[in-house]
Amino acid sequence: MKDRYNSTNQSRARPMESPCILVCAIDDRTGYCFGCGRTRDEIGSWTLYSDAERHSIMQALPARLETVERKPRRETRRARLARERSGA
């Protein structure tokens, strides 16, 4: 029986590069994901893109993320109580 992951199928064994940080929400204003900067179409088609296409998209992500309005994190109950105790 032939090994599925021999040297002829090395590309399968190599992990696919992905910018995903598991913060998956799309900014309605820009259409980019708050976490990685990709569009819905890019996220859905990521596994179908060639390495060159993925690399090209990855190069554009830092500039895209600059256009996404980051909302401040919601204050937790613990942080609010600590702030109130300190009198700030």
pTM: 0.64
Q: What is the pLDDT averaged over residues 68-86?
A: 81
Cα dihedral 35, 39, 43, 49, rounded to 10, equals: -130
Locate 49 and state its tokens. 């893109």
Q: pLDDT digit string (tens) for 22-55?
A: 988 999 999 999 999 999 999 999 999 999 999 9
